[in-house]
């Protein structure tokens, strides 16, 4: 979470001079980790290094990835490497360098780890939000320490009346950046979650690297899911597979192992223009497009798909026989049961309707993440705009309240579309929020970057080559741009 006061005099340069506003970031984690449970050796980001914390908003900023490379003596090796995608481990180190380096004018850290927000109320007398936090209960793996590493859900707020570590900060503005939490589908909750027995070899992918050693002795390992995380874990397990003793399965409900689409015109769907277009649609249409667009960024990188096939081919050559590997699509998990340490999984093939069962000694749920609303917001719930289904009703400027003092970042995919989870658009979002909070243009924010246009043309404002005459309708209105997208995409989601 971020809490920020209004700007005070002498605002400094965005590149690292005096802060233009009083800012404090409270984070329940004990320290920064970039998806710590998925820091698999050799794994890379799916985006170029330009999608760091600052470069696309301010290329001269001291907190850029390139400057971190320079400061650590790795700029030239990275240049010679000639790969735009950083290793995930080095991006993790870069982000920790930034988090540890940010300081207020007083010298105090801007980012305060180990502080768990438990309550937010609005103090009418102070005209400010009172943010109460306590020392966090989370361990190095991000899980609550009193629940061990078997919980895949966020910690519940503390209920004790008195906590010696309790502290309250006053702020005029709130930025909610609580992100997502691991999603465990209902049919798998007998294996992973609050009500599960806690077998160490059955886990969500967010805990994979913390508990990978528990999979080594399993005779049958099952990976469930079809995105990047599932693919990375499958490849990692394939390389470690004891061909004479173990069996590895990869099952997904998706009709195929979708590659992530990374073509340039598709990437323009993260643009400010598409964001404005998407935000202007009815919520029902936004939700439909959101489901349709999932393969555009939830898929597997093409290089990883090829690496998996290469590993399968190589291991078959090494083994000299059929591999003890199963890969099935269109398989929906119906239920699960833990008998001893073995998972009994009931499936239904979605294309044939055929039911079947499997067993697994170790199960990894690469079933993604879900947005959530923290309980600590309950005292200010009536100040926040909500959609009928309980999701944030996020305005185009990321505010969720009439007073424009509460903002949401990385919780607005349902209102802003593909730009919300896109790493490269993070600086664009942050720049808008900082400009808005300070009332000054600290950063130049692009509004038009796409070559294509989104939505139906406006007949009253024709453009060159549009084929429209002012005051007339297009020759045919049978197929809208949205319908055309549906036809082209088919039933891929």
Query: Is 469's pLDDT higher than 80?
Result: no
pLDDT at position 32 is: 94
The torsion angles phi and psi of 331, rounded to 5 degrees, stand at: -115, 115
Please report the pLDDT score of residue 134 as a whole number: 97
Weakest-pLDDT range from 138-147, 254-263, 348-357, 458-467: 138-147
Which pLDDT belongs to residue 322?
87
Q: What is the mean pLDDT of residues 470-480?
A: 35
Confidence at residue 430, expressed as pLDDT on a 0 to 100 scale: 95
So what's the pLDDT on residue 479? 33
Report residue 485 as tokens: 């997208």
Q: Model confidence over 146-188: pLDDT tens digits?
A: 444 333 333 344 444 457 899 999 999 999 999 899 999 999 9
> 2-181+370-438: which CATH topology?
FAD/NAD(P)-binding domain (3.50.50)
The pLDDT score that the predictor gives to residue 351 is: 98
pLDDT digits (tens, 9 = 90+) for 57-77: 999 999 999 999 999 999 999
pLDDT at 179: 87
pLDDT class for 320, splitting at 50, 70, 90?
confident
Q: Given 3-state DSSP classes, what are the helix, strand and coil percentages for the chain, each rounded to the nearest 5?
A: 30, 20, 50
Mean pLDDT for the stretch of residues 113-128 = 97
- Write the pLDDT tens digit of every residue in 181-228: 999 999 999 999 877 777 899 999 999 999 999 999 999 999 999 999
Among 17-26, 216-225, 335-344, the least confident range: 17-26
Task: Return d(Cα 140, Cα 453) in angstroms, integer.
Answer: 46
Residue 25 has pLDDT above 50, yes or no: yes
Confidence of residue 319 (pLDDT cuts 50, 70, 90): confident
Give pLDDT, residue 295: 79
Give, in degrees to the nearest 5, the angle at Cα 193 between 192 and 199: 45
Please give the average per-residue pLDDT across 24-46, as a whole number.
94
- Examine the pLDDT at 325 and tell me if it is beyond 80: yes
| Residues 246-255 pLDDT 10s | 999 999 999 9
**Per-residue pLDDT for 447 more than 50?**
yes
Between the alpha carbon of residue 172 and those of residues 10, 153, 223, 435, the distances in Å are 19, 30, 46, 16
Predicted local distance difference test score (pLDDT) of residue 446: 96
pLDDT score at 466: 45
pLDDT score for 43: 94
Q: How far is CA 295 from CA 107, 262, 340, 343, 409, in A?
A: 45, 10, 37, 29, 22
pLDDT of residue 5: 46
| CATH superfamily, region 184-257+322-365 | FAD/NAD(P)-binding domain (3.50.50.60)
Q: Specify the higher pLDDT residue, 221 or 489.
A: 221
pLDDT at 55 over 80: yes
In this prediction, residue 321 carries a pLDDT of 80
- Residues 6+ positions from 301 with CB-CB distance below 8 Å: 46, 228, 259, 260, 262
> Would you say the CATH fold of 184-257+322-365 matches that of 2-181+370-438?
yes
Kindly report the average pLDDT of the chain as a whole number. Answer: 87
Of 2 and 479, which is predicted with more confidence? 2
Q: Are 172 and 134 in contact (CB under 8 A)?
A: no
> Alpha carbon of 314 to those of 24, 239, 303, 307, 319: distances in Å?
51, 10, 16, 10, 9
pLDDT tier at 297 (50, 70, 90 boundaries)?
confident
Average pLDDT over residues 457-465: 70
pTM of the model: 0.86
pLDDT of residue 161: 46
Q: What percent of the chain has pLDDT over 90?
A: 76
- Residue 360: both structure tokens together: 């697994």
Q: Is the pLDDT of residue 474 over 90?
A: no
- Spans of all domains in the chain: 2-181+370-438, 184-257+322-365, 462-493
Pick from 85-94, 146-155, 161-170, 368-377: least confident: 146-155
Residues 311-322, mean pLDDT to the nearest whole number: 91
Q: Write phi, then psi, for 328 (nearest 5 degrees).
A: -135, 135
Which residue reads 């319908």 in tokens? 483
401-442 pLDDT, tens digit each:
999 999 999 999 999 999 999 999 999 999 999 999 999 999
Quickly tell me which residue has 């990321």 as its tokens.
398
């Amino acid at each position: 979470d971020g809490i920020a006061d209004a700007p005070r005099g002498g605002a400094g340069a965005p590149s690292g001079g005096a802060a233009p506003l009083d800012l404090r970031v409270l984070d329940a984690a004990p320290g920064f980790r970039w998806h710590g449970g998925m820091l698999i050796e050799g794994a890379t980001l799916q985006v170029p290094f330009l999608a760091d914390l600052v470069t696309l908003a301010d290329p001269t900023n001291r907190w850029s990835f390139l400057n971190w490379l320079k400061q650590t003596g790795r700029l030239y090796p990275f240049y010679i490497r000639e790969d735009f995608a950083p290793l995930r481990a080095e991006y993790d180190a870069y982000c920790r360098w930034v988090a540890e380096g940010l300081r207020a004018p007083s010298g105090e850290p801007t980012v305060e780890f180990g502080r768990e927000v438990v309550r937010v109320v609005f103090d009418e007398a102070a005209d400010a939000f009172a943010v109460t936090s306590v020392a966090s209960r989370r361990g190095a793996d991000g899980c609550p320490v009193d629940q061990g590493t078997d919980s895949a859900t966020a910690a519940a707020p503390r209920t004790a009346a008195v906590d010696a570590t309790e502290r309250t900060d006053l702020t005029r503005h709130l930025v909610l950046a609580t992100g997502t939490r691991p999603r465990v589908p209902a049919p798998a909750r007998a294996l992973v979650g609050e009500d599960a027995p806690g077998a160490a070899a059955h886990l969500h992918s967010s805990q994979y690297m913390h508990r990978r050693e528990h999979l080594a002795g399993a005779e049958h390992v099952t990976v469930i899911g079809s995105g990047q995380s599932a693919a990375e874990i499958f490849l990692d397990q394939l390389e470690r597979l004891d061909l004479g003793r173990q069996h590895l399965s990869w099952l997904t409900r998706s009709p195929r192992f979708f590659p992530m689409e990374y073509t340039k015109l598709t990437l323009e769907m993260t643009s400010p223009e598409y964001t404005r277009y998407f935000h202007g649609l009815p919520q029902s249409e936004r939700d439909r497009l959101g489901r349709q667009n999932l393969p555009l960024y939830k898929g597997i990188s093409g290089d990883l798909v090829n690496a998996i096939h290469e590993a399968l081919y190589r291991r078959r050559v090494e083994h000299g026989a059929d591999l003890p590997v199963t890969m099935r699509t269109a398989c929906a998990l119906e239920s699960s049961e833990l008998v001893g340490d073995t998972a009994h999984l009931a499936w239904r093939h979605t294309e044939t309707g055929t039911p079947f069962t499997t067993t697994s000694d170790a199960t990894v749920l690469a079933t993604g993440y879900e947005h959530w609303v923290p309980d600590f917001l309950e005292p200010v719930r009536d100040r926040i705009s909500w959609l009928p289904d309980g999701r944030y009703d996020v305005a185009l400027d990321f505010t969720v309240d009439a007073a424009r003092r509460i903002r949401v970042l990385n919780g607005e995919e349902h209102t802003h579309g593909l730009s919300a989870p896109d790493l490269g658009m993070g600086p664009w979002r942050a720049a808008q929020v900082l400009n808005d909070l300070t009332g000054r243009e600290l950063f130049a924010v692009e509004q038009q970057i796409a070559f294509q246009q989104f939505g139906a043309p406006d007949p009253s404002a024709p453009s060159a080559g549009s084929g429209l005459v002012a005051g007339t309708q297009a020759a045919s209105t049978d197929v809208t741009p949205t319908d055309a997208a549906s036809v082209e995409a088919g039933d891929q989601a």
